[in-house]
């Protein structure tokens, strides 16, 4: 039914004189159970369905979307997209791509619809109680999230792609109180899979671990402020790359001049140990077989042995930058225009062991991602910042005491040049509870890498 | 859509209580680089149904508003509520369904704005960047006009309907000269498209971007701080809004728990949540569970007066809601400020600066939302600032990390409060002068 509506919208756009059109229809469902201090506070389900159309008319883009899925409303939506396109006088060209057709399905064993609601509720209540059961924990919130996403993209140049996936995860937050001081620690694990992901892990243990960490962290001091040598764990590396570098490689920001990496292709932007890729199909990450413009997402090598090799592009920025279309035109949902976004952005492993790295450091900090609340970047000014979870001091080649409230900042052009060692491990993660925000759109992403040793970052503390 | 029928049906299916929350949003927007990049029109209707079966509650949201879609939503809500374990703290949904008279929140022209109408504003915005400085150019921006209509009804009353319009713009300007780059971002938000200050915003972005061409690093050290109004607004929403939520207080996640009547900030600091003042963006006649709104003093001369409540948290303490329930179509209500205002003082911004011996005027930060409202630990990375020496702005600086505890800062470090109120959506604040604080340079 939705496919027919999309095909129909495409025909109307052609009849109305659009030189190019792409239509996306989408069905999304989201299930969320929230347990707050052992009481089931929210059991909610969201169903979304709609259609978005983007047209190129007299060389300009117009977009319109609706969730009223009848023929009259679709016709009105298409004509609104054409009206919208008349406003701009700028002529746009689209980068060439091979139009693909096909159906992509992420693997799952057990559909969440086949699991009874009381089993789901029971599981998350038990995890919450386990987290709350640790001494010193005064508050605990646990969440179970399940997303089901079906997308269908069809374009006037012959692309026709369909996709379906489940994203499932559990999150837990614990607040510890100790002699008037409070601290929160949160963690989440998500996977592109069905209910089997939930079944194979002990979530009570997971919640207890978060609580133990909160109880330790509430007693911990802030780190000393200033410049310091750091080892970052894979989750932290993911955040650093995503904020400190990933955004600045987004082709729309590069083309418009909002990125400090503009005109730097071929230049040395990182240490020779560093190779960074964006890959829509990596194990552990989010599942992005193709983008919302209907271009296949293949692995893009962004940095190769320290040299800036490419930017991430959608069709429009590819044309403007004279680069290949990399399949990174992503939209939050059918109500948004695709813009250039990362998919799974990560560093390839090297040959160092973590212990070897720690031995190298006389005085520094081991940054841990668990408990981080994210990061932000000003791609134009070249400054980024992100928070770490409870982390450890490093003194004379050994891991030392825990520190909390760690927030790190740095400069895009300097940080990755200071990478002194790259670990042989690799871990990529994604989340069903969050995503990355840009231009008021949030999309799911994955990131990660191996452990790395960085010469210098700025730590805010005491 | 007949919301009354949905309630009736829910009760018939076995709900002991039921409510419907219906939102209709339409938005026209332009995205900008140095030209108009694209234009977009979206229309979205969303329905939320919350039911209680005795003390078990469930919520289902849908954007499939066909009769089958609504049927599925109702059935799903009832079956979720039947399997949900009862919430011992549940008393009832809001029974006081009515509205406060709030002035006009709706502008017809903004609701009906066409892409052509927005284009005029966009051209003013783009063209004025170069007026700010001849080599400045706009690189990224947007102009939008949106109207939202919310209908609420429950088994206890209604339907109530409220409508509001909002129009916003932002521009990111850049100057490249002599191998150096300066950038600046500015924005505006108003109830109506015609009130947007496109020319002022464009000019400000262009001229500031020029000044920040020469921004140097800020050496680590201890500085007096003047935080510009927009920075203060942002910090308040991140740190104070969650801490005064009765839900966080009751659940042990607020550092303000058990501190009613205490002086938690200096006597200069008064905070009020504005629910009924039309110019305070976020004000509305009734909250998201049909409870009439009011203005609630939260901090008076530094003393904590109240937390903000919705029905659930209020009934748990056997008191009245403050009318602060906030939700989306698919999530449970929770208390949230309508529009949190730091009450302005008397000082002009110029005076705050001239009274500073060795300090920093902070214009722009990123990452302040990474701060921790549970511990009160504040972090912000300064991207745009000026060094102040003997009351004069000496030079633009960038790249430093500000770290502090928000409550220590509010209690012991506030020296003066400006009169230059800046209104954002959900929050407004004047500039603030802070005593010596440590800063780490990047």
Q: What is the pLDDT of residues A269-313, one digit of tens each?
A: 999 999 999 999 999 999 999 999 999 998 999 999 999 999 999
Contacts B33 to A, Cβ<8 Å = 255-256
Q: Does B181 touch chain A (CB under 8 A)?
A: yes
CA-based nearest residue to B384, from A258, A241, A382: A382
Using the beta-carbon criterion (under 8 Å), do B366 and A138 form an inter-chain contact? Answer: no
Smallest Cβ–Cβ distance between B251 and the set A36, A69, A373 belongs to A36
Q: How far apart are CA B369 and CA B350, in angstroms?
A: 28
Q: Which helix (H) or strand (E) holds B348?
A: none
pLDDT at B440: 81
Q: Which of B51, B63, B402 to mutate to test the interface with A (most CBs of A within 10 A)?
A: B63
Q: How far apart are CA B39 and CA B313, in angstroms?
A: 43
Contacts B116 to A, Cβ<8 Å = 87
Using the beta-carbon criterion (under 8 Å), do B330 and A177 form an inter-chain contact? Answer: no
> Which tokens go with A44?
């909610």
pLDDT at B272: 98
pLDDT at A157: 95
> Which tokens go with A425?
């491990």
Q: Which of A2, A220, A247, A257 to mutate to test the interface with B (most CBs of B within 10 A)?
A: A257
> Could you identify the residue written with the tokens 């230049």?
A267
Q: Does B55 touch chain A (CB under 8 A)?
A: no
Q: Three-state SS for B71?
A: helix
Contacts A222 to B, Cβ<8 Å = 377, 403
Q: Which of B212, B370, B396 to mutate to test the interface with A (most CBs of A within 10 A)?
A: B370
pLDDT at A15: 96
DSSP for residue A243: I
Using the beta-carbon criterion (under 8 Å), do A460 and B42 form an inter-chain contact? Answer: no
pLDDT at A410: 87
Q: How far apart are CA B426 and CA B336, in angstroms?
A: 10
- Tens digits of residue pLDDT in B159-188: 999 999 999 999 999 999 988 889 999 999
pLDDT at A41: 87
DSSP for residue B134: T
Contacts A321 to B, Cβ<8 Å = none
Q: Which helix (H) or strand (E) holds A278?
A: strand A276-278
- The interface predicted TM-score of the complex, written ipTM, equals 0.87
Q: Rounded to a whole number, what is the distance in angstroms from the first to the last CA of chain B?
A: 56
Contacts A247 to B, Cβ<8 Å = none
Q: Which of A28, A239, A256 to mutate to test the interface with B (most CBs of B within 10 A)?
A: A256
Smallest Cβ–Cβ distance between A383 and the set B36, B329, B383 belongs to B383
Close Cβ partners of B72 (under 8 Å, ≥ 6 residues apart):
A47, B62, B64
Cis peptide preceding B159, ω within 30 of 0: yes
**Whether residue B275 has pLDDT greater than 90:** yes
Half-sphere exposure of A174 (CA within 13 A, CB side): 31
Q: How far apart are CA A323 and CA A315, in angstroms?
A: 9
What's the whole-number average pLDDT of chain B? Answer: 95
Q: Which of A38, A47, A177 to mutate to test the interface with B (most CBs of B within 10 A)?
A: A47
Chain A residue whose CA is closest to B70 = A47
Q: Does B65 touch chain A (CB under 8 A)?
A: yes
Chain B residue whose CA is closest to A47 = B62
Smallest Cβ–Cβ distance between A258 and the set B139, B369, B438 belongs to B139
Give me the residues of B, 185-244, that contact A with CB < 8 A.
212, 220
Using the beta-carbon criterion (under 8 Å), do B57 and A125 form an inter-chain contact? Answer: no
Angle between helices B115-132 and A71-87 (to 10 degrees): 30
Q: Mapped to the 3 state alphabet, what secondary structure does A315-362 carry? A: HHHHHHHCCCCCCCEECCCCCCCCEECCCEEEECCCCECHHHHHHHCC
Q: How far apart are CA B120 and CA B402, in angstroms?
A: 40
Chain A residue whose CA is closest to B59 = A44
Q: Does B135 touch chain A (CB under 8 A)?
A: no
Q: Does B43 touch chain A (CB under 8 A)?
A: yes
The residues facing A303 across adjacent strands are A276, A308
Give me the mean pLDDT over the B21-31 stretch.
Answer: 96
Contacts B61 to A, Cβ<8 Å = 44-47
Q: How far apart are CA B346 and CA B418, in angstroms?
A: 6
CB burial of residue A89 (10 Å; 0-12, 13-18, 19+): exposed
CB burial of residue B441 (10 Å; 0-12, 13-18, 19+): buried
Using the beta-carbon criterion (under 8 Å), do A47 and B119 form an inter-chain contact? Answer: no
Smallest Cβ–Cβ distance between A258 and the set B66, B172, B367 belongs to B172
Smallest Cβ–Cβ distance between B379 and the set A30, A65, A407 belongs to A407
CB burial of residue A226 (10 Å; 0-12, 13-18, 19+): middle
pLDDT at A411: 86
What is the DSSP pairing of strand B334-335 with strand B325-326? antiparallel
Q: Which helix (H) or strand (E) holds A449?
A: strand A446-449
pLDDT at A382: 79
pLDDT at A381: 73
Give me the residues of B, 367-396, that contact A with CB < 8 A.
367, 369-370, 372, 374-377, 379, 381, 383-384
Q: What is the dihedral of CA B104, B105, B111, B115, to 10 degrees?
A: 110
- B63 pLDDT band (50/70/90 cuts)? very high
CA-based nearest residue to A428, from A444, A449, A452: A449
Using the beta-carbon criterion (under 8 Å), do A182 and B87 form an inter-chain contact? Answer: no
What residue ranges of chain A have pLDDT lower than 70?
461-462
Smallest Cβ–Cβ distance between B332 and the set A41, A256, A462 belongs to A41
Using the beta-carbon criterion (under 8 Å), do A43 and B84 form an inter-chain contact? Answer: yes
Q: Does B146 touch chain A (CB under 8 A)?
A: no
Using the beta-carbon criterion (under 8 Å), do B59 and A43 form an inter-chain contact? Answer: yes
Contacts A410 to B, Cβ<8 Å = 442
Q: Which helix (H) or strand (E) holds B202?
A: helix B198-211
Using the beta-carbon criterion (under 8 Å), do A48 and B62 form an inter-chain contact? Answer: yes
Contacts B31 to A, Cβ<8 Å = 337, 439
> Which tokens go with A335?
């109500």
Q: Rounded to a whole number, what is the distance in angstroms from the first to the last CA of chain A?
A: 60
Q: Which of A2, A25, A39, A43 to mutate to test the interface with B (most CBs of B within 10 A)?
A: A43
User: Which pTM was predicted?
Assistant: 0.91
The residues facing B22 across adjacent strands are B47, B151
* Other C-beta atoms lying within 10 Å of the C-beta of residue A114: 8
Q: How far apart are CA A82 and CA A61, in angstroms?
A: 8
Shortest CA gap A62–chain B (Å):
5
pLDDT at A373: 84
Distances in whole angstroms, Cα of residue A289 to Cα of each of A102, A151, A196, B291: 10, 11, 22, 46
Smallest Cβ–Cβ distance between A256 and the set B33, B212, B367 belongs to B33
Using the beta-carbon criterion (under 8 Å), do A44 and B85 form an inter-chain contact? Answer: no
Shortest CA gap A251–chain B (Å):
13
Contacts B119 to A, Cβ<8 Å = 87
Share of chain A above pLDDT 90, in %: 83
Contacts B37 to A, Cβ<8 Å = 61, 88, 90
Q: Three-state SS for B207?
A: helix
Smallest Cβ–Cβ distance between B370 and the set A90, A177, A387 belongs to A387
Contacts B66 to A, Cβ<8 Å = 69
- Tens digits of residue pLDDT in A120-139: 999 999 999 999 999 999 99
- Residues A42 and A145 sit within 8 Å (Cβ to Cβ): no
Close Cβ partners of A240 (under 8 Å, ≥ 6 residues apart):
A232, A375, A384, A386, A415
Shortest CA gap A7–chain B (Å):
20
Contacts A183 to B, Cβ<8 Å = 372, 374-375
Contacts A335 to B, Cβ<8 Å = 42, 44
> Which tokens go with A308?
């800036």
């Amino acid at each position: 039914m939705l496919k027919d509506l999309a095909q129909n919208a495409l025909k109307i756009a052609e009849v109305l004189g659009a030189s190019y059109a792409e239509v996306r229809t989408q069905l999304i469902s989201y299930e969320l159970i929230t347990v707050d201090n052992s009481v089931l506070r929210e059991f909610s389900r969201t169903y979304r369905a709609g259609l978005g159309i983007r047209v190129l008319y007299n060389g300009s883009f117009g977009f319109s979307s609706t969730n009223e899925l009848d023929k009259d409303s679709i016709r009105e939506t298409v004509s609104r997209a054409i009206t919208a396109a008349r406003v701009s006088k700028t002529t746009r060209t689209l980068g060439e791509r091979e139009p693909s057709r096909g159906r992509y399905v992420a693997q799952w064993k057990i559909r969440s619809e086949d699991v009874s609601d009381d089993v789901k509720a029971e599981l998350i209540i038990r995890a919450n109680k386990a987290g709350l059961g640790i001494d010193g924990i005064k508050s605990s919130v646990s969440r179970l999230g399940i997303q089901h996403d079906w997308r269908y993209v069809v374009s006037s140049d012959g692309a026709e792609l369909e996709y379906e996936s489940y994203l499932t995860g559990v999150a837990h937050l614990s607040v510890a109180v100790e002699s008037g001081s409070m601290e929160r620690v949160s963690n989440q694990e998500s996977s592109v899979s069905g209910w089997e992901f939930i079944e194979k892990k002990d979530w009570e243990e997971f919640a207890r671990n978060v609580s133990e960490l909160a109880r330790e962290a509430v007693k911990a001091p802030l780190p000393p402020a200033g410049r310091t040598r750091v080892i970052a764990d894979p989750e932290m590396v993911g955040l650093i790359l995503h904020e400190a570098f990933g955004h600045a490689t987004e082709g729309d920001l590069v083309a418009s001049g909002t990125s400090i990496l503009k005109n730097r292709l071929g230049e040395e932007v990182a240490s020779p140990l560093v190779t960074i890729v964006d890959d829509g199909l990596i194990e552990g990450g989010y599942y992005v077989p193709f983008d919302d413009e209907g271009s296949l997402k293949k692995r893009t090598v962004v940095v190769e042995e320290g040299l800036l090799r490419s930017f991430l592009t959608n069709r429009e920025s590819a044309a403007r930058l004279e680069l290949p279309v990399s399949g990174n035109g992503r939209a939050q949902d059918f109500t948004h225009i695709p813009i250039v976004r990362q998919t799974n952005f990560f560093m390839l492993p090297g040959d160092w062991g973590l212990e070897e790295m720690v031995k190298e450091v006389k005085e520094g900090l081991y940054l841990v991602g668990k408990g981080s609340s994210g990061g932000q970047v000003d791609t134009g000014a070249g400054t980024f910042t992100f928070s770490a979870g409870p982390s450890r001091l490093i003194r004379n080649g050994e891991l030392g005491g825990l520190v909390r409230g760690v927030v790190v900042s740095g400069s895009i052009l300097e940080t990755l040049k200071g990478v002194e060692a790259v670990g042989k491990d690799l871990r990529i993660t994604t989340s069903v509870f969050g995503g990355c925000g840009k231009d008021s759109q949030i999309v799911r992403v994955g990131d990660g890498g191996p452990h790395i040793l960085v010469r210098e970052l700025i730590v805010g503390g005491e | 859509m007949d919301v009354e029928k949905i309630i009736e049906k829910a009760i018939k299916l076995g709900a002991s209580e039921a409510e419907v929350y219906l939102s209709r949003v339409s938005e026209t927007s332009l995205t900008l680089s140095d030209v108009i990049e694209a234009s977009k029109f979206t229309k979205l209707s969303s329905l939320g149904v919350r039911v209680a079966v005795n003390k078990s509650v469930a919520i289902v949201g849908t954007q499939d508003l066909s009769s089958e879609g609504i049927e599925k939503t109702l059935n799903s809500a009832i079956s979720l509520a039947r399997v949900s374990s009862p919430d011992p703290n549940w008393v009832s949904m809001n029974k006081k369904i009515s509205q406060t008279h709030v002035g006009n929140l709706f502008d017809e022209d903004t609701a009906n704005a066409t892409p052509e109408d927005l284009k005029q504003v966009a051209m003013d915005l783009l063209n004025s960047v170069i007026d700010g400085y001849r080599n400045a150019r706009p690189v990224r921006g947007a102009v939008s006009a949106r109207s939202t209509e919310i209908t609420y009804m429950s088994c206890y009353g209604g339907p109530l309907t409220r409508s509001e319009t909002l129009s916003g713009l932002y521009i990111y300007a850049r100057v490249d000269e002599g191998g150096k780059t300066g950038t600046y971002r500015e924005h505006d938000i108003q109830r109506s498209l015609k009130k947007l200050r496109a020319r002022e915003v464009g000019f400000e972005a262009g001229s500031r971007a020029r000044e920040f061409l020469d921004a140097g690093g800020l050496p680590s050290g201890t500085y007096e701080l003047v935080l510009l109004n927009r920075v203060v607004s942002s910090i308040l929403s991140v740190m104070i809004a969650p801490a005064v939520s009765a839900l966080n207080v009751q659940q042990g996640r607020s550092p303000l728990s058990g501190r009613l009547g205490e002086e938690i900030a200096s006597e200069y600091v008064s905070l009020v949540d504005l629910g009924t003042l039309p110019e305070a963006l976020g004000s509305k006649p009734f909250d998201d569970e049909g409870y009439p709104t009011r203005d609630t003093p939260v901090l008076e001369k530094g003393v904590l007066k109240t937390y903000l409540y919705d029905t659930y948290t209020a009934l748990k303490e056997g008191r009245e809601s403050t009318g602060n329930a906030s939700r989306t179509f698919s999530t449970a209500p929770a208390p949230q400020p309508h529009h949190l205002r730091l009450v302005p003082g008397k000082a002009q911004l110029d005076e705050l600066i001239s009274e500073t011996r060795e300090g920093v005027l902070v214009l722009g930060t990123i990452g302040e939302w990474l701060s921790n409202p549970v511990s009160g630990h504040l972090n912000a990375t300064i991207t745009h600032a000026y060094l102040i020496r003997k009351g004069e702005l000496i030079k633009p600086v960038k790249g430093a990390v500000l770290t502090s505890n928000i409550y220590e800062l509010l209690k012991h470090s506030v020296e003066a409060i400006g009169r230059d109120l800046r209104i954002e959506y959900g929050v407004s604040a004047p500039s603030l002068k802070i005593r010596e604080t440590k800063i780490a340079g990047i």
